[in-house]
């Protein structure tokens, strides 16, 4: 419907596994490289895992186009077969027919319509007739005949310098008996090389099935295993651009940053869900006659996909995003009441301020944009990292000074780890450097490994040792930053990358 409006030759977000639309993220490229390597090295069993809609089927179709002509491939898309039916499918896909059967087919009487001159010519079975011969023979062959024909074919392939590969899609649906049959098939080999290679492509349940005691021997023969991961936000952007480019290089539509974030939040990076929501978003953009797809078009598309469940989806997301912030603000306010008001007497004076800040939170405004409350020197506390054990000795044992507002620990519910991780306090003293605490550990090597990982991702980080109850803790910070805005940008980037920054603080020593 929207193809002509957006100058598409075809719909860019179809669900059919078309290899030309495959976008090679780092994980999809990794899976392809592992399969090609395994085939080239004649490894016995290869396992490719991935969640529902991760692009496994499209990847296996693309593999078929990348194999050399001397590699014969059988693709099994319905693994819920009996042992004999599986053999028949393999033999049919590989177009295997015993030589005696081909000779018998050639000797059967055939009608000749080429005149008297053709009567003395030798009659041969042409390549066009081979599928029919194969089909007729396969349907009446016994299991032993099928196995003998397969073994003969594999040896012939090996003698010609070729190889044979079986790709089984949705392999998590294979029964234990059939998997054992496949293991027995892999026994067809020469003294040096495997004659048959088998690639299992399936969901994560396949990994659990392979751990069954009955499949111990098969599991020992798996030499390559790789798991596809969902796309990151940046990969989701590139995936959408790639499919639009394939559908039409001069497409007139773009997706805004807000729309891309909505797509990634809903799909979690799974290509199938990305296709579904992008298709609906484009339909919404077409109805509105706009070239740029915005977040509102994506949200409308998600609602149409989920139906009645759409309200629950957005409601859960609202509470997931707002509740930790609300809880953080409440404890922040409790701290202000304690320190500014000199104990319980300060609460009445903050009643109106509390109400205003709560309304701002519900409306999506951040407390970080408000003007910080001035503190007197005696109200400033030196606090240990949140993840370190909380005790009076720990607070006194910290050697570095951080200007933050310490929230007194309540007597009843304790803040969960998840809520602590999203609690962000705005530094409220002038001077010094901003930094983001991302981790603390008792082991220095763990902290150093995280610093190396952050460095590979482009973050500048450093390590500081603090002491709690006489024992060292190693705290990892990202930073330092001279400007608060830059620190906030990196704080959000860390959250988006899947990390859980603990605290934004300020230190005069960096």
Q: What is the pLDDT of residue 377?
A: 40
Q: What is the pLDDT of residue 486?
A: 75
Q: What is the pLDDT of residue 31?
A: 95
Q: What is the pLDDT of residue 373?
A: 42
Q: What is the pLDDT of residue 319?
A: 47
Q: Answer for the pair 186, 200: CB distance below 8 angstroms, yes or no.
A: no
DSSP letter assigned to residue 41: T
Tell me the CATH class for 380-507.
alpha beta
Q: Answer for the pair 62, 167: CB distance below 8 angstroms, yes or no.
A: no
Q: Answer for the pair 274, 240: CB distance below 8 angstroms, yes or no.
A: yes
Instruction: Supply the angle between the helices 143-159 and 83-93 in degrees, to the nearest 10.
Output: 40
Distance between CA atoms of residues 356 and 212, nearest Å: 59
Number of residues assigned to the chain: 510
Distance between CA atoms of residues 183 and 217, nearest Å: 8
Pick the CATH number of 26-108+123-227 from 3.30.420.10, 3.80.30.10, 3.40.50.300, 3.30.450.40: 3.40.50.300
Q: Could you tell me the residue ranges of all domains in the chain?
A: 26-108+123-227, 248-307, 380-507
Q: What is the pLDDT of residue 18?
A: 93
Q: What is the pLDDT along the chain (510 residues), one digit of tens a residue?
A: 789 899 898 999 999 999 999 999 999 999 999 999 999 999 889 999 999 999 999 999 999 999 999 999 999 998 898 999 999 999 999 988 876 555 555 555 555 455 444 444 444 444 455 556 566 788 888 999 999 999 999 999 999 999 999 999 999 999 999 999 999 999 888 888 889 999 999 999 999 999 999 999 999 999 999 999 999 999 999 999 999 999 986 667 899 999 999 999 999 999 999 999 999 999 999 999 999 999 999 999 999 888 655 455 544 554 455 555 555 666 566 555 555 555 544 445 555 555 565 555 555 444 444 444 444 444 333 334 434 443 343 334 444 444 343 334 433 333 334 433 433 434 444 446 788 888 888 888 888 998 888 887 778 888 888 876 778 888 888 888 887 877 777 787 777 666 778 777 776 555
Q: Which fold has domain 248-307?
A: Helicase, Ruva Protein; domain 3 (1.10.8)
Q: Residue 224: CB partners within 8 Å, gap ≥ 6?
A: 34, 35, 37, 38, 43, 45, 46, 47
Strands 222-227 and 254-255: unpaired
């Amino acid at each position: 419907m929207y193809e002509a409006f957006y100058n598409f030759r075809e719909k860019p977000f179809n669900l059919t596994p078309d290899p030309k639309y495959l976008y090679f993220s780092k994980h999809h490229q990794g899976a392809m490289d592992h399969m090609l390597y395994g085939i080239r090295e004649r490894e016995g069993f290869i396992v490719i895992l991935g969640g529902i809609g991760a692009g496994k089927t499209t990847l296996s179709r693309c593999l078929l186009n990348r194999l050399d002509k001397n590699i014969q491939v059988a693709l099994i898309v319905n693994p819920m077969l009996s042992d004999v039916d599986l053999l028949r499918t393999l033999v049919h896909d590989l177009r295997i027919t015993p030589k005696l059967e081909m000779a018998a087919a050639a000797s059967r009487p055939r009608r000749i319509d080429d005149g008297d001159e053709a009567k003395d010519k030798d009659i041969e079975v042409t390549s066009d007739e081979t599928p029919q011969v194969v089909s007729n023979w396969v349907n009446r062959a016994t299991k032993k005949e099928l196995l003998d024909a397969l073994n003969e074919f594999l040896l012939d392939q090996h003698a010609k310098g070729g190889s044979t590969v079986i790709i089984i899609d949705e392999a998590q649906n294979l029964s234990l008996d059939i998997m054992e049959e496949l293991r027995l098939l892999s026994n067809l080999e020469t003294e040096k090389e495997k004659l048959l290679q088998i690639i299992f492509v399936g969901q994560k349940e396949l990994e659990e099935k392979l751990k069954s005691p009955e499949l111990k021997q098969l599991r020992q023969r798996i030499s390559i295993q790789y798991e596809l991961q969902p796309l990151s936000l940046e990969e989701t952007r590139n995936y959408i651009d790639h499919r639009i480019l394939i559908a039409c290089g001069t497409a007139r539509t773009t997706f805004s940053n807000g729309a891309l974030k909505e797509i990634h939040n809903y799909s979690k990076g799974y290509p199938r869900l990305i296709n579904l929501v992008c298709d609906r978003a484009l339909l919404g953009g077409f109805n509105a006659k706009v070239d740029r797809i915005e977040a509102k078009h994506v949200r409308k598309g998600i609602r149409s996909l989920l139906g009645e469940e759409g309200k629950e989806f957005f409601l859960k997301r609202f509470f997931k995003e707002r509740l930790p912030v609300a809880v953080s603000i409440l404890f922040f306010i409790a701290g202000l009441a304690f320190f500014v008001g000199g104990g319980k007497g300060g609460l009445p004076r903050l009643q109106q301020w509390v109400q205003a800040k709560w309304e701002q939170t519900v409306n999506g405004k951040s407390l970080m944009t408000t003007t910080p409350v001035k503190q007197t020197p005696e109200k400033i506390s030196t606090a240990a990292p949140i993840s370190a054990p909380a005790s009076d000795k720990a607070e006194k044992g910290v050697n570095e000074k951080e200007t933050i507002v310490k929230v007194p620990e309540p007597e009843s519910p304790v803040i969960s780890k998840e809520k602590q991780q999203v609690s962000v306090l705005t530094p409220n003293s002038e001077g010094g450097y901003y930094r983001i605490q991302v981790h603390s550990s008792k082991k220095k090597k763990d902290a150093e490994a995280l610093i190396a990982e952050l460095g590979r991702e482009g973050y500048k980080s450093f390590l500081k040792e603090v002491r709690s109850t006489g024992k060292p803790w190693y705290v990892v910070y990202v930073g330092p930053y001279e400007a608060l805005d830059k620190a906030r940008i990196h704080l959000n980037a860390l959250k988006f990358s899947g990390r859980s920054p603990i605290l934004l603080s300020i230190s005069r020593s960096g």
